[in-house]
Amino acid sequence: DGGITQSPKYLFRKEGQNVTLSCEQNLNHDAMYWYRQDPGQGLRLIYYSQIVNDFQKGDIAEGYSVSREKKESFPLTVTSAQKNPTAFYLCASSSLTGARSNTGELFFGEGSRLTVL
């Protein structure tokens, strides 16, 4: 079935360690996104990418990094520079924005819960 797969679902990190969250999609979508969700904060955009080898910072990119070497994959690295990384992370994808045929709908993965010990 087509969809978005995030892994791992749960991840524990010691302070000072970098961790990478995986996101893979087989929907043939051009655009991929990473959102962070905290209680009472809604979803906040970390990074997004509309094409391979290109990505843009979102509203809260500090302390995070991404890569987009393949259309299907958009991993997120939470670096030690992120001061408060404990959160729920959601990956999403969509057809290329800006096209009239695109409905703008985001398709989401099941999320990854990161806890810093």
Contacts to other proteins by CB under 8 A: 31, 33, 35, 40-45, 48, 50, 58, 88, 90, 92, 97-98, 103-106, 108, 110-111
**Which residues is 34 bridged to in the sheet?**
47, 91
Nearer of residues 76 and 106 to other proteins, judged by Cβ: 106
Cβ proximity of 33 and 92 under 8 Å: yes
Minimum distance of other proteins from residue 107's CB (angstroms) = 8
Count, residues in the chain: 117
- Nearest distance, CB of residue 98 and other proteins, angstroms: 5
Residue 107 DSSP symbol? E
Residue 105: exposure state from Cβ atoms within 10 A (0-12, 13-18, ≥19): exposed
Identity of the residue, 11 or 80, whose beta carbon is nearer to other proteins in the bound complex:
11
Closer residue to other proteins (CB): 23 or 90 = 90
